[in-house]
Structure 1
Amino acid sequence: MARMQPSWNLSILEGIFGVARYSTDNDRMQHAIIATKKGRLYGVQWDIRTFPSTSSLIKLCQFKPLSCLAGVYSCDDGYQHVIVARSEGESGSLFEIAFKQPQLTEPRLLVRLPAAVQRVGMAGFLFNAKITSLSGFFSLDDTSSHIITSLESGCVYDVNYNNKNHRVHQRII
């Protein structure tokens, strides 16, 4: 059995909170988004035929405090998307950083999930909108990014949006 030799070490003294990953078809690169415990977001990229290098580390932005994160690449327009949820203050809110390297954009509010949901036969009920996990993918059939979002209350949403017109739709799965 072959042993993998570490090619580089990323030493982040403040500790790693979480990692998201995606690959980009246009340049055949692998990407990792690293979130620190202090809310700093870093991006690392490398070619699939080579090892990552510390020179590819870029600081994206800072979100504090973080709840979770996801990464998506949309092949129709070549944008990379980092989706983050905060654990305090704006509970139930997803933020997006969309960019083409080397240009970075400021984070924008993507959606605020409702704290009340209408049900047939009911006036509605309240629940905790705290986001506990995210997963993302790009769908070619409807050319939109989908962020599957689970809440502490047990609700699971499909938050989807078209990257060209930025219309955001959400539905409970």
Structure 2
Amino acid sequence: MPAYSSTGCSLPATRRTPKRRSRLRDGGNCEAGADVDNRGRDAIEFGGTLWDKQVVRHKLATLATRAEAFRHLTYHCAWLVSEGRDCVKEVSMIKAMGGELVNRTMYDCVQLHGGMGYMRESPIERMSRDARVASIGGGATEVMLEEVAKRM
């Protein structure tokens, strides 16, 4: 596998997240966020679209902000790896933050879908169920936070 390079930062293939974990690596928010954004702009609820409600816009803006912060932490960690520097603390931060971010995002997406968010045939329900493992698999959030604390 070739090295990944973006904005002058190269990450060897051996240090990349396996493809099967790409949802966590990408924050796990893109598909769900797009679905909620489309629903928010199109669905008519209580006499207007969900997007018309300030609380919904703020919730989506908060999720987008957290996803962007996660993305930047990931890029910073990739830079540390490319420089050959120790990044166990940052990797642990990414794992802890990523799992929690995915779960928080999915919780909010289910909430914004209302009752349909719980229906088995709903893509949001499946993504929400699948996201739960993100904060458990590969090291529980609490274990990752302990790794961060050891290196503070």
TM-score bin (small chain): under 0.3
**Structure number with higher strand proportion:** 1
**Structure number with higher helix proportion:** 2
Higher relative contact order (CA 8 A, sep 6+): 2
